[in-house]
């Protein structure tokens, strides 16, 4: 790929549109509950402002109809505190008012335009040429001299703000995007043995990763946790109980059980399943060995057990590289946080080169204050897609 970075951009005196991903948890009063994603983009935005660019920031928050579908005014206020240069807010994205706000910027100033997903086109997927003909791109691009995409976390999408500007403007990768592509693109070159830990609830994406690393002999072992482990245990005919099986079915994951069974048929010696699990019984954590399953009626598998944590930790201790995707259980509940906290801590403190796939994994790391990973991705779905070798539309659009 021939992707240009900020090193190739003569930023002084130019107006640059910068797509970031600052989609964040919100408090009940719609204020920011976590500013981690904003802080991730400080390097890119500060560099452009320091170099004398006028910066129009594009971003989204939530999804239509969702509880966190909201205006970006609190995000602008927080960016104004985080960045060296001033950041204002505009309650429009591509109207005359938005263009006037962009054109009124002085060198070294930024404006955060309104939530791109307030407009229906942004919730649709297009190829770059078609995306360049949307109202967002056609109306806003005349006010810009260049485009920077720093939104790696959304790079698996092909929405207008992500793929529509490169056909009509000189386009560059921001520092977050550049780092993610460098690190995730080179993870297969890191020391062996490689261990992939897959968990969480993104079952289809996780099984894609498992299939990819096993079929290409990239991982020595795959350790399963979370809902992903439940699916693999069902595939191995382990009775995890009616409640957990019903959850898998209700969430639309049942077709993934067959995929998991196929992987176990071909690679059973390299895929590890939990040897014990934790369920909730009368408000308490109760751990059950696999051979004592199923749990009682109504009890769901909520975490891996301590025997599994110990067994997985021994594998991690001998690893040269660990790729970690997804929490081990319902880590938001202190009763079922042990698997995620202890396993993640083991990875962080190991001698292995460690990469974390973002999303809920990153949220867990922040919750528990765990340090020591070599790289924590800003993107959950995008990181998973990249680890499977699948193309990322927003990255492909930057390849000029």
Q: DSSP per residue over 296-364, as a string?
A: STT--EEEE-HHHHHHHHHHHHT-SEEEEES-SS-TTSGGG-HHHHHHHHHHHHSSSEEEE--THHHHH
In the chain, the largest separation of any two C-alpha atoms, in whole Å, equals 69
- Residue 250: CB atoms within 10 Å: 9
Q: How far apart are CA 8 and CA 272, in angstroms?
A: 46
pTM check: above 0.75: yes
Gyration radius from the chain CA atoms: 22
Q: List phi, psi (to 5°) of 114.
A: -65, 160
Give how far Cα 116 sits from Cα of 51, 261, 305, 359, Å.
26, 41, 43, 21
What is the per-residue burial (b if ≥16 Cβ within 10 Å, else e) of 131-167? bbebebbeebbebbbbbbbbbbbbbbbbbbbbbbbbb
Tell me which residue has tokens 């602008």: 76
Q: How far apart are CA 384 and CA 293, in angstroms?
A: 31
Report the relative pairing of strands 221-224 and 194-198 from DSSP bridges: parallel
Give how far Cα 10 sits from Cα of 4, 53, 148, Å.
12, 9, 12
User: What is the number of alpha carbons within 13 Å of residue 8 lying toward its C-beta?
Assistant: 14
Q: Which pLDDT score, from 0 to 100, does residue 400 have? A: 66
Q: Tally the residues of the chain.
A: 400
Q: Which pLDDT score, from 0 to 100, does residue 171 have? A: 98
Q: List phi, psi (to 5°) of 149.
A: -105, 115
Tell me which residue has tokens 């690190």: 183
Q: Which pLDDT score, from 0 to 100, does residue 112 have? A: 98
Q: How far apart are CA 382 and CA 391, in angstroms?
A: 10
Q: How far apart are CA 310 and CA 294, in angstroms?
A: 22
pLDDT tens digits for the chain (400 residues)? 689 999 999 999 999 999 999 999 888 888 998 899 999 999 999 999 999 999 999 999 998 888 899 999 999 999 999 999 999 999 999 999 999 999 999 999 999 999 999 999 998 999 999 999 999 999 999 999 999 999 999 999 999 999 999 999 999 999 999 999 999 999 999 999 999 999 988 899 999 999 999 999 999 999 999 999 999 999 999 999 999 999 999 999 999 999 999 999 999 999 999 999 999 998 899 999 999 999 999 999 999 999 999 999 999 999 999 999 999 999 999 999 999 999 999 999 999 999 998 788 988 999 999 999 999 999 888 998 898 888 999 999 998 6
User: What is the number of alpha carbons within 13 Å of residue 376 lying toward its C-beta?
Assistant: 21
DSSP 95-146: SHHHHHHHHTPPTT-EEEPP-GGGSGGGGS---HHHHTTSHHHHHHGGG-SE
């Amino acid at each position: 790929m021939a992707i240009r970075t900020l090193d190739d951009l003569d930023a002084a005196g130019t107006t640059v549109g910068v797509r970031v991903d600052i989609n964040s948890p919100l408090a009940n009063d719609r204020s920011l509950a976590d500013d981690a994603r904003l802080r991730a983009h400080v390097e890119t935005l500060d560099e452009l402002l320091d170099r004398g660019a006028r910066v129009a920031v594009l971003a989204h928050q939530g999804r239509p109809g969702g509880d966190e579908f909201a205006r970006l005014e609190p995000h602008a206020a927080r960016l104004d505190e985080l960045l060296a240069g001033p950041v204002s807010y505009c309650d429009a994205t591509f109207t005359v008012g938005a263009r006037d706000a962009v054109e009124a910027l002085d060198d070294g100033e930024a404006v955060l335009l309104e939530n791109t997903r307030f407009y229906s086109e942004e919730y649709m997927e297009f190829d770059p040429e078609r995306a360049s003909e949307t109202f967002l791109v056609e109306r806003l691009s005349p006010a810009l001299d260049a485009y920077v995409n720093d939104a790696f976390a959304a790079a698996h999408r092909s929405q207008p703000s992500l793929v529509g500007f490169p056909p009509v403007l000189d386009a560059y990768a921001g520092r977050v995007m550049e780092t993610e592509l460098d690190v995730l693109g080179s993870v297969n070159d890191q020391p062996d043995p490689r261990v992939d830990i897959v968990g969480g609830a993104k079952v289809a994406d996780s099984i894609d990763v498992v299939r990819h690393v096993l079929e290409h002999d990239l991982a020595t072992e795959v350790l399963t946790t979370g809902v992903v482990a439940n699916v693999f245990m069902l595939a191995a005919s382990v009775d995890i109980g009616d409640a957990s099986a019903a959850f898998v079915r209700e969430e639309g994951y049942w077709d993934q059980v067959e995929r998991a069974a196929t992987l176990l048929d071909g690679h059973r010696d390299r895929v590890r399943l939990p040897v014990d699990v934790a369920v909730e019984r009368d408000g308490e954590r109760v751990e059950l060995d696999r051979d004592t399953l199923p749990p009682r009626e109504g009890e769901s598998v909520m975490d891996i057990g301590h025997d599994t944590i110990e067994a997985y930790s021994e594998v991690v201790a001998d690893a040269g590289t660990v790729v970690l995707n997804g929490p081990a259980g319902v880590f938001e509940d202190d009763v079922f946080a042990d698997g995620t906290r202890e396993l993640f801590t083991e990875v962080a403190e190991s001698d292995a080169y460690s990469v974390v796939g973002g999303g809920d994994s990153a949220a867990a790391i922040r919750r528990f204050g765990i340090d020591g990973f070599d790289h924590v991705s800003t993107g959950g779905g995008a990181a998973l897609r990249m680890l499977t070798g699948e193309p990322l539309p927003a990255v492909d659009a930057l390849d000029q």
